[in-house]
Protein backbone atom coordinates (compact mmCIF):
# COMPACT_ATOMS: atom_id res chain seq x y z
CA UNK A 1 0.00 0.00 0.00
CA UNK A 2 1.41 3.41 -0.91
CA UNK A 3 2.10 5.98 1.77
CA UNK A 4 -0.66 8.12 0.28
CA UNK A 5 -3.23 5.30 0.32
CA UNK A 6 -2.26 4.53 3.91
CA UNK A 7 -2.88 8.15 4.94
CA UNK A 8 -6.17 8.20 3.06
CA UNK A 9 -7.43 5.14 4.93
CA UNK A 10 -6.61 6.68 8.24
CA UNK A 11 -8.35 9.91 7.26
CA UNK A 12 -10.38 11.37 10.05
CA UNK A 13 -13.58 13.29 9.92
CA UNK A 14 -14.78 16.15 12.07
CA UNK A 15 -18.25 16.54 13.51
CA UNK A 16 -20.01 19.87 13.33
CA UNK A 17 -22.61 20.06 16.08
CA UNK A 18 -25.56 22.47 16.03
CA UNK A 19 -26.29 23.43 19.65
CA UNK A 20 -29.81 24.64 18.82
CA UNK A 21 -31.15 21.71 16.80
CA UNK A 22 -28.90 19.04 18.26
CA UNK A 23 -28.09 17.92 14.73
CA UNK A 24 -24.56 16.88 13.83
CA UNK A 25 -22.81 16.84 10.47
CA UNK A 26 -19.75 14.85 9.42
CA UNK A 27 -17.02 16.79 7.65
CA UNK A 28 -14.58 14.49 5.87
CA UNK A 29 -10.84 15.19 5.95
CA UNK A 30 -8.70 15.03 2.82
CA UNK A 31 -5.00 14.33 2.92
CA UNK A 32 -2.68 15.40 0.13
CA UNK A 33 0.80 14.02 -0.45
CA UNK A 34 2.25 16.69 1.83
CA UNK A 35 1.05 19.62 3.90
CA UNK A 36 -1.83 20.05 6.33
CA UNK A 37 -5.02 18.03 6.12
CA UNK A 38 -8.00 19.75 4.55
CA UNK A 39 -11.64 19.79 5.66
CA UNK A 40 -13.82 18.89 2.70
CA UNK A 41 -16.67 21.40 3.07
CA UNK A 42 -18.04 21.04 -0.46
CA UNK A 43 -21.41 19.85 0.82
CA UNK A 44 -21.50 22.20 3.84
CA UNK A 45 -24.17 24.49 2.38
CA UNK A 46 -26.26 21.59 1.08
CA UNK A 47 -26.07 19.79 4.46
CA UNK A 48 -26.28 22.71 6.89
CA UNK A 49 -27.56 25.74 4.93
CA UNK A 50 -24.44 27.66 6.02
CA UNK A 51 -21.42 29.08 4.21
CA UNK A 52 -17.85 29.23 5.54
CA UNK A 53 -16.52 32.78 6.11
CA UNK A 54 -12.85 33.25 5.21
CA UNK A 55 -11.92 36.69 3.81
CA UNK A 56 -8.50 36.61 2.16
CA UNK A 57 -8.72 32.79 1.98
CA UNK A 58 -6.42 32.44 5.00
CA UNK A 59 -7.73 28.92 5.72
CA UNK A 60 -9.23 27.88 2.41
CA UNK A 61 -7.76 25.57 -0.23
CA UNK A 62 -9.41 26.73 -3.45
CA UNK A 63 -8.19 23.78 -5.53
CA UNK A 64 -5.96 20.73 -5.47
CA UNK A 65 -2.67 21.08 -7.31
CA UNK A 66 0.45 19.00 -7.93
CA UNK A 67 2.71 21.81 -9.14
CA UNK A 68 4.17 23.63 -6.14
CA UNK A 69 4.49 22.81 -2.45
CA UNK A 70 5.27 25.35 0.25
CA UNK A 71 5.82 24.74 3.95
CA UNK A 72 5.81 28.29 5.22
CA UNK A 73 6.85 27.36 8.76
CA UNK A 74 9.91 25.43 7.65
CA UNK A 75 10.73 27.81 4.77
CA UNK A 76 10.38 25.06 2.13
CA UNK A 77 9.49 25.64 -1.53
CA UNK A 78 9.39 22.77 -4.01
CA UNK A 79 8.30 22.59 -7.63
CA UNK A 80 7.03 19.16 -8.72
CA UNK A 81 8.90 17.78 -5.68
CA UNK A 82 12.24 19.49 -6.40
CA UNK A 83 13.68 21.86 -3.84
CA UNK A 84 14.01 25.44 -5.09
CA UNK A 85 17.69 25.54 -4.04
CA UNK A 86 18.47 22.48 -6.20
CA UNK A 87 16.64 24.08 -9.11
CA UNK A 88 18.46 27.41 -8.82
CA UNK A 89 21.79 25.60 -8.39
CA UNK A 90 21.52 22.99 -11.15
CA UNK A 91 18.78 24.01 -13.61
CA UNK A 92 18.23 26.91 -15.94
CA UNK A 93 14.93 28.73 -16.41
CA UNK A 94 13.88 26.89 -19.57
CA UNK A 95 14.31 23.56 -17.78
CA UNK A 96 12.14 24.82 -14.90
CA UNK A 97 9.51 25.94 -17.43
CA UNK A 98 9.43 22.41 -18.82
CA UNK A 99 9.23 20.97 -15.30
CA UNK A 100 6.30 23.17 -14.28
CA UNK A 101 4.37 22.57 -17.48
CA UNK A 102 5.05 18.86 -17.95
CA UNK A 103 5.64 17.58 -14.40
CA UNK A 104 9.18 16.16 -14.80
CA UNK A 105 12.64 17.46 -15.59
CA UNK A 106 13.42 17.08 -19.30
CA UNK A 107 16.01 14.78 -20.88
CA UNK A 108 18.64 16.51 -23.05
CA UNK A 109 16.58 15.80 -26.19
CA UNK A 110 13.30 16.96 -24.60
CA UNK A 111 14.95 20.14 -23.39
CA UNK A 112 16.35 20.90 -26.86
CA UNK A 113 12.96 20.31 -28.46
CA UNK A 114 11.20 22.46 -25.87
CA UNK A 115 13.70 25.29 -26.28
CA UNK A 116 13.20 25.14 -30.06
CA UNK A 117 9.42 25.42 -29.65
CA UNK A 118 9.80 28.39 -27.29
CA UNK A 119 12.29 30.05 -29.67
CA UNK A 120 9.82 29.67 -32.53
CA UNK A 121 7.20 31.64 -30.62
CA UNK A 122 9.37 34.48 -29.30
CA UNK A 123 8.52 37.10 -31.91
CA UNK A 124 5.32 39.13 -31.87
CA UNK A 125 2.88 39.55 -34.73
CA UNK A 126 4.08 42.75 -36.44
CA UNK A 127 0.59 44.22 -36.15
CA UNK A 128 0.82 43.71 -32.39
CA UNK A 129 4.12 45.60 -32.41
CA UNK A 130 2.22 48.55 -33.91
CA UNK A 131 -0.25 48.28 -31.03
CA UNK A 132 2.42 49.79 -28.70
CA UNK A 133 2.17 53.13 -30.51
CA UNK A 134 -1.28 53.64 -29.01
CA UNK A 135 0.21 54.03 -25.53
CA UNK A 136 1.67 57.21 -24.10
CA UNK A 137 5.46 57.11 -23.82
CA UNK A 138 5.27 57.69 -20.07
CA UNK A 139 2.81 54.83 -19.48
CA UNK A 140 3.84 52.41 -16.74
CA UNK A 141 5.25 49.28 -18.45
CA UNK A 142 2.85 47.15 -16.38
CA UNK A 143 -0.06 49.09 -17.92
CA UNK A 144 1.35 48.33 -21.37
CA UNK A 145 1.87 44.70 -20.44
CA UNK A 146 -1.72 44.19 -19.24
CA UNK A 147 -2.95 45.70 -22.51
CA UNK A 148 -0.61 43.88 -24.88
CA UNK A 149 -1.04 40.46 -23.23
CA UNK A 150 -4.81 40.90 -23.28
CA UNK A 151 -4.54 41.81 -26.96
CA UNK A 152 -2.72 38.54 -27.75
CA UNK A 153 -6.13 36.87 -27.94
CA UNK A 154 -6.98 39.16 -30.85
CA UNK A 155 -3.84 38.09 -32.73
CA UNK A 156 -3.58 34.40 -31.90
CA UNK A 157 -7.17 33.28 -31.93
CA UNK A 158 -6.06 29.89 -33.27
CA UNK A 159 -4.98 29.02 -29.70
CA UNK A 160 -7.83 30.42 -27.62
CA UNK A 161 -9.98 27.28 -27.45
CA UNK A 162 -9.27 26.06 -23.91
CA UNK A 163 -11.04 22.75 -24.56
CA UNK A 164 -8.58 21.73 -27.28
CA UNK A 165 -5.41 20.14 -25.84
CA UNK A 166 -3.20 21.28 -28.74
CA UNK A 167 -4.46 24.83 -28.56
CA UNK A 168 -3.95 24.82 -24.78
CA UNK A 169 -0.32 23.78 -25.16
CA UNK A 170 0.36 26.26 -27.97
CA UNK A 171 -1.16 29.06 -25.88
CA UNK A 172 1.16 28.15 -22.96
CA UNK A 173 4.22 28.10 -25.25
CA UNK A 174 3.23 31.38 -26.88
CA UNK A 175 2.75 33.11 -23.54
CA UNK A 176 6.06 31.88 -22.07
CA UNK A 177 7.95 32.78 -25.24
CA UNK A 178 6.36 36.16 -25.99
CA UNK A 179 6.13 37.59 -22.49
CA UNK A 180 9.86 38.48 -22.37
CA UNK A 181 9.62 40.18 -25.77
CA UNK A 182 6.49 42.07 -24.64
CA UNK A 183 8.18 43.25 -21.41
CA UNK A 184 11.39 44.36 -23.15
CA UNK A 185 9.41 46.20 -25.81
CA UNK A 186 7.44 48.04 -23.13
CA UNK A 187 10.77 49.32 -21.81
CA UNK A 188 12.13 50.25 -25.23
CA UNK A 189 8.90 52.09 -26.00
CA UNK A 190 9.21 54.21 -22.84
CA UNK A 191 12.71 55.26 -23.95
CA UNK A 192 11.71 55.93 -27.54
CA UNK A 193 14.37 53.45 -28.68
CA UNK A 194 13.81 50.96 -31.52
CA UNK A 195 12.46 47.56 -30.56
CA UNK A 196 15.06 44.80 -30.50
CA UNK A 197 13.94 41.39 -31.76
CA UNK A 198 14.99 38.18 -29.97
CA UNK A 199 17.71 35.84 -31.27
CA UNK A 200 17.64 32.05 -31.34
CA UNK A 201 21.28 31.65 -30.30
CA UNK A 202 20.67 33.32 -26.94
CA UNK A 203 19.14 31.70 -23.85
CA UNK A 204 15.86 32.98 -22.39
CA UNK A 205 17.60 35.29 -19.91
CA UNK A 206 20.31 36.37 -22.36
CA UNK A 207 17.59 37.35 -24.81
CA UNK A 208 15.81 39.39 -22.19
CA UNK A 209 19.00 41.37 -21.47
CA UNK A 210 19.76 41.70 -25.17
CA UNK A 211 16.27 42.94 -26.09
CA UNK A 212 16.23 45.36 -23.16
CA UNK A 213 19.71 46.86 -23.21
CA UNK A 214 21.09 46.60 -26.73
CA UNK A 215 20.74 49.28 -29.41
CA UNK A 216 21.21 48.65 -33.15
CA UNK A 217 24.22 51.00 -33.38
CA UNK A 218 26.39 49.20 -30.83
CA UNK A 219 27.75 45.70 -30.36
CA UNK A 220 26.14 44.17 -27.25
CA UNK A 221 27.78 41.33 -25.35
CA UNK A 222 25.71 39.65 -22.66
CA UNK A 223 27.57 39.44 -19.33
CA UNK A 224 27.30 35.76 -18.24
CA UNK A 225 27.21 36.61 -14.51
CA UNK A 226 24.26 38.95 -15.09
CA UNK A 227 22.51 36.45 -17.36
CA UNK A 228 22.89 33.79 -14.66
CA UNK A 229 21.47 36.19 -12.06
CA UNK A 230 18.45 36.89 -14.30
CA UNK A 231 17.97 33.17 -14.81
CA UNK A 232 17.92 32.64 -11.04
CA UNK A 233 15.51 35.56 -10.67
CA UNK A 234 13.14 33.95 -13.19
CA UNK A 235 13.41 30.50 -11.56
CA UNK A 236 12.68 32.00 -8.13
CA UNK A 237 9.58 33.74 -9.48
CA UNK A 238 8.36 30.90 -11.71
CA UNK A 239 5.52 29.71 -9.49
CA UNK A 240 4.29 30.10 -5.94
CA UNK A 241 1.12 28.06 -5.54
CA UNK A 242 -2.24 29.79 -5.06
CA UNK A 243 -1.14 33.42 -4.51
CA UNK A 244 -3.31 36.41 -5.49
CA UNK A 245 -2.29 36.57 -9.16
CA UNK A 246 -2.38 32.79 -9.71
CA UNK A 247 -5.78 32.58 -8.05
CA UNK A 248 -6.89 35.44 -10.31
CA UNK A 249 -5.73 33.48 -13.37
CA UNK A 250 -7.58 30.38 -12.15
CA UNK A 251 -10.75 32.31 -11.32
CA UNK A 252 -10.76 34.08 -14.69
CA UNK A 253 -10.05 30.77 -16.45
CA UNK A 254 -12.74 28.89 -14.54
CA UNK A 255 -15.37 30.65 -16.65
CA UNK A 256 -13.75 29.37 -19.83
CA UNK A 257 -12.10 32.71 -20.67
CA UNK A 258 -9.24 32.38 -23.16
CA UNK A 259 -5.71 31.89 -21.73
CA UNK A 260 -4.34 35.25 -22.93
CA UNK A 261 -7.16 37.13 -21.17
CA UNK A 262 -6.57 35.04 -18.02
CA UNK A 263 -2.84 35.84 -17.90
CA UNK A 264 -3.62 39.55 -18.48
CA UNK A 265 -5.88 39.34 -15.40
CA UNK A 266 -3.02 37.73 -13.45
CA UNK A 267 -0.66 40.53 -14.47
CA UNK A 268 -3.17 43.12 -13.22
CA UNK A 269 -3.38 41.35 -9.87
CA UNK A 270 0.42 41.07 -9.61
CA UNK A 271 0.79 44.82 -10.07
CA UNK A 272 -0.35 45.72 -6.52
CA UNK A 273 2.28 46.74 -3.91
CA UNK A 274 1.21 43.98 -1.52
CA UNK A 275 2.12 41.42 -4.22
CA UNK A 276 4.47 41.83 -7.20
CA UNK A 277 4.75 45.59 -6.80
CA UNK A 278 6.67 45.08 -3.55
CA UNK A 279 10.11 44.85 -5.23
CA UNK A 280 9.59 48.35 -6.61
CA UNK A 281 8.32 49.51 -3.22
CA UNK A 282 11.44 48.09 -1.47
CA UNK A 283 13.79 50.27 -3.51
CA UNK A 284 11.65 53.36 -2.94
CA UNK A 285 11.65 52.57 0.80
CA UNK A 286 15.45 52.04 0.94
CA UNK A 287 15.93 55.33 -0.91
CA UNK A 288 13.60 57.06 1.51
CA UNK A 289 15.47 55.60 4.50
CA UNK A 290 18.58 57.14 2.93
CA UNK A 291 21.15 56.11 5.53
CA UNK A 292 21.73 53.41 8.14
CA UNK A 293 21.16 55.84 11.05
CA UNK A 294 17.54 56.38 9.95
CA UNK A 295 16.66 52.68 10.08
CA UNK A 296 15.42 52.57 13.72
CA UNK A 297 12.89 55.35 12.93
CA UNK A 298 11.49 53.41 9.98
CA UNK A 299 11.27 50.20 12.00
CA UNK A 300 9.41 52.15 14.69
CA UNK A 301 7.05 53.59 12.05
CA UNK A 302 6.35 50.13 10.62
CA UNK A 303 5.27 48.91 14.08
CA UNK A 304 2.91 51.82 14.69
CA UNK A 305 -0.69 50.63 14.38
CA UNK A 306 -1.83 54.14 13.42
CA UNK A 307 0.66 54.40 10.57
CA UNK A 308 -0.07 52.49 7.33
CA UNK A 309 3.67 52.18 6.62
CA UNK A 310 5.04 48.62 6.56
CA UNK A 311 8.55 47.40 5.96
CA UNK A 312 8.39 46.52 2.28
CA UNK A 313 9.97 43.17 1.42
CA UNK A 314 9.16 41.85 4.91
CA UNK A 315 6.45 39.39 5.85
CA UNK A 316 4.53 36.87 3.84
CA UNK A 317 1.11 35.28 4.03
CA UNK A 318 2.61 31.78 3.89
CA UNK A 319 6.25 32.03 5.01
CA UNK A 320 6.56 32.34 8.75
CA UNK A 321 10.27 31.68 8.37
CA UNK A 322 13.03 33.00 6.07
CA UNK A 323 11.69 32.92 2.50
CA UNK A 324 14.02 30.39 0.77
CA UNK A 325 13.91 32.57 -2.35
CA UNK A 326 15.24 35.55 -0.38
CA UNK A 327 18.32 33.51 0.64
CA UNK A 328 19.21 32.83 -3.02
CA UNK A 329 18.48 36.46 -3.95
CA UNK A 330 20.77 37.71 -1.17
CA UNK A 331 23.73 35.60 -2.39
CA UNK A 332 22.98 36.59 -6.00
CA UNK A 333 22.85 40.29 -5.04
CA UNK A 334 26.39 40.07 -3.66
CA UNK A 335 27.62 38.31 -6.85
CA UNK A 336 26.01 40.84 -9.17
CA UNK A 337 27.25 43.86 -7.25
CA UNK A 338 30.79 42.40 -7.17
CA UNK A 339 30.71 41.74 -10.91
CA UNK A 340 29.48 45.26 -11.62
CA UNK A 341 31.97 46.72 -9.11
CA UNK A 342 29.12 48.14 -7.04
CA UNK A 343 29.81 46.22 -3.79
CA UNK A 344 29.70 49.50 -1.89
CA UNK A 345 26.15 50.12 -3.12
CA UNK A 346 24.51 52.31 -0.43
CA UNK A 347 21.12 50.62 -0.87
CA UNK A 348 22.66 47.18 -0.24
CA UNK A 349 24.29 48.55 2.92
CA UNK A 350 20.95 49.89 4.15
CA UNK A 351 19.18 46.63 3.23
CA UNK A 352 21.71 44.47 5.11
CA UNK A 353 21.55 46.69 8.19
CA UNK A 354 17.73 46.85 8.04
CA UNK A 355 17.45 43.07 7.82
CA UNK A 356 19.84 42.64 10.77
CA UNK A 357 17.94 45.09 12.98
CA UNK A 358 14.45 43.87 12.06
CA UNK A 359 15.36 40.23 12.67
CA UNK A 360 16.47 41.16 16.20
CA UNK A 361 13.33 43.19 16.90
CA UNK A 362 10.75 41.59 19.22
CA UNK A 363 7.81 42.75 17.00
CA UNK A 364 9.21 41.04 13.90
CA UNK A 365 10.26 37.94 15.85
CA UNK A 366 6.86 37.56 17.48
CA UNK A 367 4.94 38.09 14.21
CA UNK A 368 7.39 35.86 12.31
CA UNK A 369 8.17 38.55 9.76
CA UNK A 370 11.23 37.69 7.64
CA UNK A 371 12.61 39.13 4.39
CA UNK A 372 10.69 37.86 1.37
CA UNK A 373 11.85 37.36 -2.23
CA UNK A 374 11.34 41.04 -3.01
CA UNK A 375 13.71 42.33 -0.36
CA UNK A 376 16.93 41.73 -2.33
CA UNK A 377 15.61 41.31 -5.87
CA UNK A 378 15.17 45.06 -6.41
CA UNK A 379 18.81 45.70 -5.49
CA UNK A 380 19.92 43.20 -8.15
CA UNK A 381 17.62 44.59 -10.82
CA UNK A 382 18.59 48.19 -10.09
CA UNK A 383 22.31 47.36 -10.22
CA UNK A 384 21.82 45.66 -13.61
CA UNK A 385 20.24 48.87 -14.89
CA UNK A 386 16.50 48.20 -14.88
CA UNK A 387 14.37 51.17 -13.82
CA UNK A 388 12.10 50.43 -10.83
CA UNK A 389 9.03 50.55 -13.10
CA UNK A 390 10.35 47.39 -14.82
CA UNK A 391 10.71 45.34 -11.63
CA UNK A 392 7.16 44.00 -11.56
CA UNK A 393 7.30 43.43 -15.32
CA UNK A 394 10.28 41.11 -14.75
CA UNK A 395 8.37 39.33 -11.99
CA UNK A 396 5.48 38.84 -14.44
CA UNK A 397 7.87 37.44 -17.07
CA UNK A 398 9.13 34.81 -14.61
CA UNK A 399 5.66 34.02 -13.25
CA UNK A 400 4.01 33.52 -16.64
CA UNK A 401 5.08 29.87 -16.76
CA UNK A 402 3.52 29.26 -13.33
CA UNK A 403 0.30 30.96 -14.36
CA UNK A 404 0.06 28.93 -17.56
CA UNK A 405 0.87 25.63 -15.79
CA UNK A 406 -1.76 26.38 -13.12
CA UNK A 407 -4.33 27.42 -15.73
CA UNK A 408 -3.68 24.23 -17.72
CA UNK A 409 -3.89 22.08 -14.59
CA UNK A 410 -7.21 23.68 -13.68
CA UNK A 411 -8.70 23.14 -17.15
CA UNK A 412 -7.59 19.49 -17.07
CA UNK A 413 -8.88 18.87 -13.53
CA UNK A 414 -12.09 16.77 -13.69
CA UNK A 415 -13.50 18.60 -10.64
CA UNK A 416 -12.99 22.01 -12.25
CA UNK A 417 -15.99 24.26 -11.67
CA UNK A 418 -16.57 27.94 -12.28
CA UNK A 419 -15.19 29.86 -9.26
CA UNK A 420 -18.07 31.46 -7.43
CA UNK A 421 -17.42 32.44 -3.79
CA UNK A 422 -20.39 33.27 -1.55
CA UNK A 423 -20.67 36.10 1.00
CA UNK A 424 -21.80 37.11 4.44
CA UNK A 425 -24.41 39.74 3.52
CA UNK A 426 -24.30 42.83 5.73
CA UNK A 427 -26.40 45.34 3.82
CA UNK A 428 -29.92 46.68 4.31
CA UNK A 429 -32.83 44.36 4.87
CA UNK A 430 -35.78 44.61 2.54
CA UNK A 431 -36.93 48.27 2.21
CA UNK A 432 -39.97 49.99 0.79
CA UNK A 433 -39.24 51.73 -2.51
CA UNK A 434 -39.52 55.55 -2.40
CA UNK A 435 -40.25 57.54 -5.53
CA UNK A 436 -37.52 60.09 -6.38
CA UNK A 437 -39.27 63.31 -5.23
CA UNK A 438 -39.76 61.82 -1.75
CA UNK A 439 -36.08 61.02 -1.21
CA UNK A 440 -33.81 63.09 1.06
CA UNK A 441 -30.91 64.88 -0.71
CA UNK A 442 -27.52 63.47 0.24
CA UNK A 443 -24.67 65.14 -1.59
CA UNK A 444 -22.14 62.60 -2.86
CA UNK A 445 -19.45 65.14 -1.96
CA UNK A 446 -20.69 65.33 1.63
CA UNK A 447 -20.54 61.57 1.70
CA UNK A 448 -16.97 61.55 0.39
CA UNK A 449 -15.85 64.13 2.95
CA UNK A 450 -17.43 62.17 5.77
CA UNK A 451 -15.23 59.19 4.79
CA UNK A 452 -11.99 61.17 5.20
Among 313, 324, 378, 402, interactor with ligand ACO by CB under 6 A = 313
Contact status: 377 vs ligand ACO (CB under 6 A): no
Q: Least CB distance from residue 303 to ligand ACO, whole Å?
A: 6
Catalytic residue, candidates 316, 323, 334, 413: 316
Q: What is the DSSP letter of 30?
A: E
Q: How far is the CB of 278 from ligand ACO (least distance, A)?
A: 3
Residue 302 near ligand ACO by CB under 6 A: yes
Interaction of residue 258 with ligand ACO, rule CB under 6 A: no
Q: CB burial class (10 A; 0-12, 13-18, 19+) of residue 416?
A: middle
**61-83 burial string, b = 16+ CB within 10 Å, else e?**
bebebebbbbbbeebbbbbbebe
Q: Which helix (H) or strand (E) holds 32?
A: none
Only segment of 209-217, 228-236, 368-376, 415-423 that touches ligand ACO (CB under 6 A): 368-376
Residue span binding ligand ACO (CB under 6 A) among the ranges 75-83, 151-159, 213-221, 315-323: 315-323
Cα dist. 448→444, 445, 452 in Å?
6, 5, 7
Confirm or reject binding of residue 301 to ligand ACO (CB under 6 A).
no
In the complex, least distance from residue 365 CB atom to ligand ACO, rounded to whole angstroms = 12
Q: Tell me how far apart the alpha carbons of residues 395 and 183 are, in angstroms, rounded to a whole number.
A: 10
Answer yes or no whether residue 371 interacts with ligand ACO by CB under 6 A.
Answer: no
Q: Which is nearer to ligand ACO, 241 or 409 (CB)?
A: 241
Which CA distances in Å does 94 have to 303, 339, 403? 41, 24, 15
Packing angle between helix 391-412 and helix 244-254, nearest 10 degrees?
40
| Residue 373 touching ligand ACO (CB under 6 A) | yes
**Binder among 153, 372, 404, 406 for ligand ACO (CB under 6 A):** 372
Report the distance separating Cα 265 and Cα 150, nearest Å: 8
Choice from 122, 188, 232, 316 touching ligand ACO (CB under 6 A):
316
Contact 77, 243 (CB under 8 A): no
User: Would strands 68-71 and 76-79 be described as parallel, antiparallel, or unpaired?
Assistant: antiparallel
Distance CA 189, CA 133 (A): 8
CB of residue 333 vs ligand ACO: minimum separation in angstroms? 16
Smallest gap from Cβ 434 to ligand ACO, in A, equals 41
**121 counts as catalytic:** no
Of the candidates 215, 236, 232, 235, the residue with the CA atom closest to the CA atom of residue 224 = 232
Query: Are the C-beta atoms of 126 and 136 separated by less than 8 Å?
Result: no
- Is 316 marked active-site? yes
Contact region with ligand ACO (CB under 6 A), list: 174-182, 306-314, 330-338, 397-405 = 306-314
The correct pick among 31, 85, 111, 310 for binding ligand ACO (CB under 6 A) is: 310
Residues that bind ligand ACO (CB under 6 A): 274-276, 278, 302, 310-317, 367, 369, 372-374
Please give the positions annotated as active site.
316, 374
Amino acid sequence: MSDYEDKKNKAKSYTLFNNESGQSFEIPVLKGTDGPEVLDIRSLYKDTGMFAYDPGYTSTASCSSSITYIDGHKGILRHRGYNIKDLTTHSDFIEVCYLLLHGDLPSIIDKQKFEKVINNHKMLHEQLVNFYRGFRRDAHPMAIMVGVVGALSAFYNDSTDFANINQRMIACHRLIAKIATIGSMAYKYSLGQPFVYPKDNLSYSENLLYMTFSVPTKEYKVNPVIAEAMDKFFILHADHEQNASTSTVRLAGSSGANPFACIAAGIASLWGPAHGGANEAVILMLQEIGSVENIPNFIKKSKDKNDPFRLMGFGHRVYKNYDPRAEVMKVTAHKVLKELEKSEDPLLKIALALEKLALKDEYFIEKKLYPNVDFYSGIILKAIGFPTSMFTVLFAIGRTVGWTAQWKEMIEDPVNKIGRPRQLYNGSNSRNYEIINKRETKSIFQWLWSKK
